[in-house]
Amino acid sequence: MRITVYDVLGWLAAGMSHAEILDDFPELTEEDIRACLEFAADREHRLIAVVGES
């Protein structure tokens, strides 16, 4: 099964806890969830940097 960063971020935004996500998708780890958050933060930072240069 393929689980995307978008999926994980959507579940978190909808109010699911890390524990709920891990219970529903045992193939994920706490580290995977943190990596999704890190990816989103980095992407947001890069977007702001690019927009700020315009």
Query: Virtual CA dihedral for 40, 7, 33, 52, nearest 10 degrees?
Result: 0
Does residue 23 carry a pLDDT above 90?
Answer: yes
CB 40 within 8 A of CB 5: yes
**Based on the number of CB atoms within 10 Å of its own CB, is 36 exposed (0-12), middle (13-18) or buried (19 or more)?**
buried
Task: Return the percentage of the chain with pLDDT > 70, whole number.
Answer: 85
pLDDT range class, residue 49, cuts 50, 70, 90: low
The pLDDT value recorded for residue 54 is 59
Instruction: Quick: pLDDT tens for 7-21.
Output: 999 999 999 999 999
